[in-house]
């Protein structure tokens, strides 16, 4: 599918700010991580930013997202508080989960971030349950549920797809297909690459986007959201993407033998951060970059200056 034409400069600037902000935040996190100030494993979204930003562009402020352990991009794209995110990763009480959840459990109910989960695929049925609640509430709200291609092999995901289609839940399923389940490539897990076709058999519209193009993702998301709000039930989008860094941690792992650097270079050639930057006047891009850098500097100071949770609240806010 051909990429839709870029729209007005205001939209391009907003999209650039969204994906560049995520990229720069994660680059800073990667730089800090070796100091051991961050008290949490990290799963970086570098290279995958366009999916979260393109999808969240189509959502309302009162809609909800549900993310995975690789959820930094989802959290920030939906308006999550950067101070609270970094403080959470530092294990500080000012974090979005009071320092108890870490990088894999970002949450922001005020911004419509239902929460991210470290257990592969476990956020999907939870998101559908929330979508059922929103449908019964009757205010036209919906859920966008993100998960990876590895999660698409979990039984609970298929049970959820069936339930959502049967009850016409207001939910957009977004599979961020980076072709890897930890260190196992997709072509070693499936004889046929028919992920979208499998979902379509549940009776919902299902579309594959292979380009990584943020405008194509944004357009598809807007069409899906319109259909969902009209009461048509769930929609599924498979968005091809690629993580540039290792599965968990800040480094590269192309010497590990499970993937080829040529794959990275192919995706870097169509990097959406660089693409959108080139569509902006230089002074406009520099202004956005400076604002992002200042915001990140302030958030790092906030995280470093915040206290750790008091011992007395060790068992508070914990449910089992």
**Cα distance between residue 34 and residue 249, in whole Å:** 9
pLDDT at residue 3, as a whole number: 56
**pTM of the full predicted structure?**
0.96
What CATH number corresponds to the domain at position 142?
3.40.50.970
pLDDT at residue 314, as a whole number: 86
315 located within any domain: no
315 Cβ neighbours under 8 A, 6+ residues apart: none
136 located within any domain: yes
167 located within any domain: yes
> What are phi and psi for residue 115, nearest 5 degrees?
130, 150
**Cα distance between residue 134 and residue 114, in whole Å:** 12
213 located within any domain: yes
Contact 196, 206 (CB under 8 A): yes
**Cα distance between residue 306 and residue 294, in whole Å:** 18
Contact 209, 217 (CB under 8 A): yes
pLDDT, one tens digit for every residue, the chain (320 residues):
555 566 799 999 999 999 999 999 999 999 999 999 998 999 999 999 999 999 999 999 999 999 999 999 999 999 999 999 999 999 999 999 999 999 999 999 999 999 898 899 999 999 999 999 999 999 999 999 999 999 999 999 999 999 999 999 999 999 999 999 999 999 999 998 899 999 999 999 999 999 999 999 999 999 999 999 999 999 999 999 999 999 999 999 999 999 999 999 999 999 999 999 999 999 999 999 999 999 999 999 999 999 999 999 888 887 76
Tally the domains of the chain: 1
Domain that holds residue 160: 9-305
**Cα distance between residue 64 and residue 226, in whole Å:** 15
Task: Write the DSSP symbol of residue 83.
Answer: H
| CA nearest neighbour of 49 among 266, 217, 236 | 217
**Cα distance between residue 141 and residue 212, in whole Å:** 27
């Amino acid at each position: 599918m051909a990429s839709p034409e870029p729209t007005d400069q205001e939209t391009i600037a907003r999209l650039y700010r969204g994906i560049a902000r995520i990229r720069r935040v994660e680059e800073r996190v990667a730089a800090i991580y070796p100091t051991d100030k961050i008290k949490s494993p990290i799963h970086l979204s570098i290279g995958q930013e366009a999916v979260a930003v393109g999808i969240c562009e189509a959502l309302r402020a009162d809609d909800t997202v549900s993310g995975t352990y690789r959820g930094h991009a989802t959290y920030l794209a939906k308006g999550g508080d950067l101070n609270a995110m970094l403080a959470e990763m530092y294990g500080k009480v000012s974090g979005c989960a009071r320092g108890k959840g870490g990088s894999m459990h970002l949450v922001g109910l005020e911004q419509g971030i239902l929460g991210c989960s470290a257990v592969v695929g476990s956020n999907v049925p939870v998101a559908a349950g929330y979508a059922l609640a929103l449908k019964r509430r009757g205010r036209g709200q919906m859920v966008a549920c993100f998960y990876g291609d590895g999660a698409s092999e979990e039984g609970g995901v298929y049970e959820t797809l069936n339930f959502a289609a049967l009850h016409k839940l207001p939910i957009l399923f977004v599979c961020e297909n980076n072709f890897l389940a930890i260190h196992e490539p997709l072509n070693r897990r499936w004889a046929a690459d028919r992920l979208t076709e499998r979902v379509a058999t549940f009776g919902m519209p299902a579309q594959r986007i292979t380009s990584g193009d943020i405008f194509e993702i944004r357009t598809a998301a807007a069409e899906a959201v319109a259909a969902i709000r009209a009461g048509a039930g769930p929609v599924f989008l498979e968005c091809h993407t690629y993580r540039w860094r290792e599965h968990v941690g800040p480094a590269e792992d192309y010497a590990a033998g499970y993937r080829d650097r040529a794959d990275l270079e192919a995706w870097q050639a169509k990097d959406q951060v660089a693409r959108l930057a080139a569509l902006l006047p230089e002074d406009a891009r520099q202004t956005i970059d400076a604002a992002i850098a200042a915001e990140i500097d302030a958030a790092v100071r906030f995280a470093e200056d915040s206290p750790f949770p008091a011992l007395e609240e060790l068992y508070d806010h914990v449910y089992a």
